[in-house]
Amino acid sequence: MNPILSASGLGKRFGDRVACRDVGFDLWPGEVLGVVGESGSGKTTLLNCLAGRLHPETGTVVYDSAAYGQVDVHDLSEARRRLLSRTEWGFVNQDAREGLRMGVSAGANIGERLMAIGARHYGDIRRTASEWLGRVEIEQDRLDDRPTTYSGGMRQRLQIARNLVSGPRLVFMDEPTGGLDVSVQARILDLLRGLVETLHLSAVLVTHDLGVARLLTHRLMVMQGGRVVEEGLTDQVLDDPQDAYTQMLVASILPV
Amino acid sequence: MYVAVKGGETAINHSLELLADKRRGERSVAELSLEQIDQQLSLAVDRVMTEGSCYDRSLAALAIKQARGDLIEAIFLLRAYRTTLPRFGDSLPIDTTEMLAERRISATFKDVPGGQVLGPTFDYTHRLLDFSLAAAGERPLAPTAPTEEPLPLPRVGDILQRDGLLEPPSQGDDGHDLTRQPLMFPASRPLRLQNLARGDEGFLLALGYSTQRGYGNNHPFVGEIRYGHVPVSFVPEELGFAIELGEIEVTECDMVNQFAGSHDVPPQFTRGYGLAFGHAERKAMAMALVDRALRADELSETATSPAQDEEFVLAHSDNVEASGFVQHLKLPHYVDFQSELVTVRALREEVERRNREAAAAAAALDKAAE
Amino acid sequence: MSESIADASPASGGPDQAYNYAYLDEQTKRMIRRAILKAVAVPGYQVPFGGREMPLPYGWGTGGIQVTAAIIGREDTLKVIDQGADDTTNAVSIRRFFAKVADVATTTSTEDASIIQTRHRVPETRLREGQIIVFQVPIPEPLRMLEPRETETRTLHALSEYGVMQVSLYESIARHGRIAKTYNYPVLVNGRYIMSPSPIPKFDNPKLDRSPALQLYGAGREKRIYAVPPHTPVKSLDFDDHPFEIERWDECCALCGSRESFLDEVIVDDSGKRMFVCSDTDWCERHQR
């Protein structure tokens, strides 16, 4: 079996600031990898490099595609990378507004990927969209409403539905519960955990919240100043941190 | 009649005759000569030449006369004429250090080599209507200094640049001519400058102003504004050396802006550049502000404001394009409108039908309940 | 507008000697012809071209005029329509322009024309092989109102990434129960490029499909030319369960009695009384005979 995503030697700079340096890992099918660290530690840059949204200066990202076999994400033509990103991948932004079309209905938001890959039956698209709305626990009579009328938590759930409707295998998540109320967070985390399990998704999850990481991820990478300072099984890293920085991170969360 | 089903041709002819009549106005008033327009409405001529991108004072004056003083219409007339002219080559870039300046000021230094030259400007006038102008009468000539050899005017920017405090001006031109090739994005800086030079003064003024109010601020200082005559030279292929074709008047603005520096470049000042035909300081300054704002990408600044958005600025700066497209709404659209009518009626009928059905169902329910 | 055209020429008749034949210089015509050839070779693809400033305002047919000027010759017969009619102001102005600068025969008969320049309509009379129809296009980019950025729309076309267009149709059905788009109705050309048919009513869209005539589209302000070669499939976008439909009228033309043509609604008195007449004046005249 191949890893579904394999990164090695990734490096990226912005001006004279190093955003990430020599990052590598293998992500196995069905696995959720967490990337944690404080803001500015390079997590989001890393995620964008993995998803092909940013070009790293060094290193490679190899994805094991269902359609094309093993491909280097940054060697792919833009056409193919965009196709992959709307068929085999999902990307959940921290700010749902960036991942949604705010000017069209929830149904159109969920249906877009289906239409982009050729669905042309309005009734079918609508039915599927409605089902997905239900799966992310939004009342189905909100199907024709625009996300502007949704609460923050609902928008985030809609964004998740919009991503998962095409049955992706790999999902990138950037602080999917950031900026939401604690009770709302808990509901989304539950939802995500259920979906990852039932859909057998692989995922890379960036978060600064160790609680989120503990709940959702199998393995953890701790980043500081653009480098990986520690990695391992999530429970192991959180319960017995080896690196001084990780120890500080773990110590700084309030005991639950 | 606006749109006759028949007879449009005659109506158009009549409209043209009326327009010509209106243009002349009351016949007892003397007709304007092109010389009068050129001499006494010279700033209007300058604007028409700049945005019409054709340096010819008498053609611009003619356009202004024909357009009844509507400058955007005059710019359009001049452009439409310009496009038919054969091109025999490109002149050499003008060198504004060779300018015989009538005005030259810097806001960054109290005094500069060559001095501050105020020249003819509205800047120090009180904006009081001068009723003496309403009456005819000769004006005295302004006193002038005894003629001497023009002093070379080093650019203020060059002085800063020598110390490395200001970036050098960008060099070179990609040979792209906006009037011959379509504008494509992303656009190079020379291409952007071409577009801005032809751009509507009002539009650039508003955009430049917006940068000063926080929509893409770039902390500008007027490094220097100069206005005067510069020679234009051309190298004919058969001669192989430059000959001077004549002189043109231009206004140049070198705006100096703060810049934080980047990985490879220590902090230094950057430039925004504006150039216009004739005496047009407002245009040149606005252009310089917008030019600098549009360099956001190149200087790794976050572009968040309209003035920093290349596609937004360049696609909407041209008043001939804008005026045509806005005013085309006057053309008949009754076919499109008919299509909309048909659809809106059908949609309304459907809503009414649904309401009727709902009302009927409610009535039936009421009846059953009784 | 027409005024500058009138002024551009000497008072005498015949082609204007102050300008080149058909107004544009030969270099420019060659450049436009190259763009047209490319457009024909890649049906539905918007070819950027060095659009010139014409003595007619942008938005009033500068693209169509440049295309016509590049292809017209003395042996051509030109018909110009606006809103289907030969006698609307803009049509008259453009026809006079070419009569003046190209010394060309003009006609109002669709059948007799070799070149038809049009704004907002396709003639009701079926076009035949050998004819060229030139459309005036205000906004060539069918995705523009969904995505304002040119760099992005060009990428979407290059990658055939057209989900967003279908989203807009979906939204229309969700909101109105039907696709409420009535004119400038997007089409897919030859199974590859989504194209704006210019603001013709959707009533005319079926006439574009496999038309034996060559269709050329010129957008002057936006500096794009595109084309549909003869016999090319042109499909109006829709959903399987919401198929494309055209406008229908309960009335027939009050002048010629036609039931197959696009009807204009004319308000005839102050009480709002209406009459329906053919938008295509040539068609209407022939049917009145």
CB contact (8 A) between residue A16 and residue B300: no
Q: How far is CA B148 from CA B100, B104, B120, C92, in A?
A: 11, 17, 19, 61
Q: What is the Cα Rg of chain C in Å?
A: 19
B262 interaction partners in chain A (CB closer than 8 Å) = 15-16
Within 8 A by CB and 6+ apart from C276, the residues are C249, C251, C252, C253, C254, C263, C264, C265, C266
A19 interaction partners in chain B (CB closer than 8 Å) = none
CB contact (8 A) between residue C149 and residue B8: no
Within 8 A by CB and 6+ apart from A14, the residues are A45, B263, B300
B16 interaction partners in chain C (CB closer than 8 Å) = 2-3, 6
User: Which residue in chain A has the smallest CA separation from B301?
Assistant: A15
The verdict on A83 and A178 lying in the same domain is yes
What does each of the 289 residues of chain C score in pLDDT, given as a tens digit? Answer: 333 433 333 334 455 567 789 999 999 999 999 999 999 999 999 999 999 999 999 989 999 999 999 999 999 999 999 999 998 888 999 999 999 899 999 999 999 999 999 999 999 999 999 999 999 999 999 999 888 899 999 999 999 999 999 999 999 999 988 998 999 999 999 999 999 999 999 999 999 999 999 999 999 999 999 999 999 999 999 999 999 999 889 999 999 999 999 999 988 888 888 899 999 999 999 999 8
Tell me, yes or no, if B263 comes closer than 8 A to chain A by beta carbon: yes
C238 interaction partners in chain A (CB closer than 8 Å) = 120
User: Which among B19, B325, B332 has the least Cβ separation from residue C83?
Assistant: B332
**CA atoms of C284 and C84, how far apart (whole Å):** 10
User: Which among A83, A105, A115 has the least Cβ separation from residue C174?
Assistant: A105
The verdict on A132 and A225 lying in the same domain is no
CB-based burial, B228-248: b 16+ in 10 Å, e otherwise: bebbebeeeeeeeeeeeeeeb
Tell me, yes or no, whether A108 lies in a domain. yes
Residues 200-259 of B with CB under 8 A from C: none
Of A256 and B20, the structure prediction assigns the larger pLDDT to B20
Of the candidates A167, A196, A219, which is a domain's last residue? A167
- Grade residue B30 by pLDDT with cuts at 50, 70 and 90: very high
Asked if C39 contacts C225 with a C-beta cutoff of 8 angstroms, the reply is yes
Distance of CA B186 to the CA centre of its chain: 20
Mean per-residue pLDDT over chain A, rounded: 92
- Grade residue A254 by pLDDT with cuts at 50, 70 and 90: low
Tell me, yes or no, if A121 comes closer than 8 A to chain B by beta carbon: no
Exactly one of C51, C253, C257, C272 is catalytic; which is it?
Answer: C253
The verdict on A74 and A109 lying in the same domain is no
Within 8 A by CB and 6+ apart from A44, the residues are A174, A206
B183 interaction partners in chain C (CB closer than 8 Å) = 223
Q: What chains are in contact with A, requiring at least 3 Cβ pairs below 8 Å?
A: B, C
**CA atoms of B94 and B106, how far apart (whole Å):** 21
Share of chain B above pLDDT 70, in %: 95
What's the confidence (pLDDT) of residue B253? 97
**Closest by Cα among C141, C169, C166, C122 to C45:** C141
- Chain C interface test: which of B16, B309, B339, B350 (most C C-beta within 10 Å): B339
- Chain A interface test: which of C170, C188, C237, C238 (most A C-beta within 10 Å): C170
Size of interface A-B (CB pairs under 8 A): 11
Q: Mean pLDDT, to the nearest integer, of B305-319?
A: 96
User: Which among B315, B331, B338 has the least Cβ separation from residue C60?
Assistant: B331
Q: Is the predicted pLDDT of residue B147 greater than 80, yes or no?
A: no
Q: How many CB atoms lie within 10 A of CB A23?
A: 25
Asked if A23 contacts A10 with a C-beta cutoff of 8 angstroms, the reply is yes
Tell me, yes or no, if B36 comes closer than 8 A to chain A by beta carbon: no
B181 interaction partners in chain C (CB closer than 8 Å) = 50
User: Which residue in chain B has the smallest CA separation from A13?
Assistant: B263
Of the candidates A167, A186, A215, which is a domain's last residue? A167
User: Which among C155, C159, C171 has the least Cβ separation from residue A104?
Assistant: C171
Considering the four listed CATH numbers 3.50.50.60, 3.40.50.11310, 3.30.70.260, 3.30.930.10, the one that applies to the domain covering C2-145+174-236 is: 3.40.50.11310
Q: How far is CA B309 from CA B8, B290, B334, in A?
A: 43, 10, 36
**Closest by Cα among C103, C106, C108 to C87:** C108
d(CA B261, nearest CA chain A) in Å? 9
Q: Mean pLDDT, to the nearest integer, of A78-101?
A: 92
The verdict on A113 and A135 lying in the same domain is yes
SS3 C101: helix
- Chain C interface test: which of A77, A83, A105, A115 (most C C-beta within 10 Å): A115
Q: How far is CA B10 from CA A29, A200, B1, B333, C87, in A?
A: 78, 76, 10, 21, 10
Domain that holds residue A120: 101-167
Q: Is the predicted pLDDT of residue A256 greater than 50, yes or no?
A: no
* Burial of C249 per CB tally in 10 Å (0-12, 13-18, 19+): middle
B259 interaction partners in chain A (CB closer than 8 Å) = none
CB contact (8 A) between residue A112 and residue C240: no
Residues 162-191 of B with CB under 8 A from C: 179-186
The verdict on A79 and A173 lying in the same domain is yes
d(CA B368, nearest CA chain C) in Å? 32
pLDDT digits (tens, 9 = 90+) for B338-367: 888 888 998 899 889 999 999 999 999 888
Asked if B276 contacts B284 with a C-beta cutoff of 8 angstroms, the reply is yes
Within 8 A by CB and 6+ apart from C99, the residues are C106
Size of interface A-C (CB pairs under 8 A): 58
B20 interaction partners in chain C (CB closer than 8 Å) = 3
Strands A32-36 and A202-207: parallel
What's the confidence (pLDDT) of residue B1? 27
Place of tokens 């200066």: A57
CB contact (8 A) between residue C183 and residue B343: no
Tell me, yes or no, whether A126 lies in a domain. yes
Q: Which of A63-72, B51-60, B164-173, B274-283 has the lowest mean pLDDT?
A: B164-173
What's the confidence (pLDDT) of residue B7? 58
**Closest by Cα among B3, B23, B71, B11 to B323:** B71
User: Which among C167, C239, C242 has the least Cβ separation from residue A112?
Assistant: C167
Exactly one of C13, C14, C44, C50 is catalytic; which is it?
Answer: C44
Tell me, yes or no, whether A78 lies in a domain. yes
The ipTM value here is 0.87
**CA atoms of A175 and B50, how far apart (whole Å):** 52
The verdict on A82 and A177 lying in the same domain is yes
Exactly one of C73, C191, C256, C272 is catalytic; which is it?
Answer: C256
Tell me, yes or no, whether A163 lies in a domain. yes
pLDDT digits (tens, 9 = 90+) for C249-271: 999 999 999 999 999 998 888 88
- Chain B interface test: which of C86, C89, C176 (most B C-beta within 10 Å): C89
Tell me, yes or no, if C177 comes closer than 8 A to chain A by beta carbon: no
The verdict on A122 and A5 lying in the same domain is no
pTM higher than 0.90, yes or no? no
The verdict on A129 and A255 lying in the same domain is no
Of B48 and C149, the structure prediction assigns the larger pLDDT to B48
Q: Is the predicted pLDDT of residue A39 greater than 90, yes or no?
A: no
Segments making up each domain of chain C, as ranges = 2-145+174-236, 248-289
B300 interaction partners in chain A (CB closer than 8 Å) = 14-15
The verdict on A253 and A200 lying in the same domain is yes
Of A126 and B262, the structure prediction assigns the larger pLDDT to A126
CB contact (8 A) between residue C182 and residue B86: no
**Concatenated DSSP letters for A79-121?**
HHHHHHHHHTEEEE-SSHHHHS-TTS-HHHHHHHHHHHTT---
CB contact (8 A) between residue C120 and residue B340: no
What's the confidence (pLDDT) of residue C13? 45
What's the confidence (pLDDT) of residue C15? 52
What's the confidence (pLDDT) of residue C9? 39
Q: Mean pLDDT, to the nearest integer, of A132-150?
A: 94
User: Which among C159, C174, C241 has the least Cβ separation from residue A82?
Assistant: C159
**CA atoms of A57 and A21, how far apart (whole Å):** 10
What CATH number is associated with residue A41?
Answer: 3.40.50.300
User: Which residue in chain B has the smallest CA separation from A17?
Assistant: B263
Tell me, yes or no, whether A93 lies in a domain. no
Q: Is the predicted pLDDT of residue B120 greater than 50, yes or no?
A: yes
How many structural domains does chain A have?
Answer: 2
What's the confidence (pLDDT) of residue B146? 64
A115 interaction partners in chain C (CB closer than 8 Å) = 163, 166-167, 170
Tell me, yes or no, whether A95 lies in a domain. no
Sheet holding C193-195, edge to edge: C193-195, C187-189, C234-236
Active-site annotation holds for C44: yes
Active-site annotation holds for C252: no
Of B158 and B24, the structure prediction assigns the larger pLDDT to B24
d(CA C258, nearest CA chain B) in Å? 17
Distance of CA B313 to the CA centre of its chain: 12
Tell me, yes or no, whether A178 lies in a domain. yes
Q: What chains are in contact with C, requiring at least 3 Cβ pairs below 8 Å?
A: A, B
Within 8 A by CB and 6+ apart from A124, the residues are none
CB contact (8 A) between residue C155 and residue A78: yes
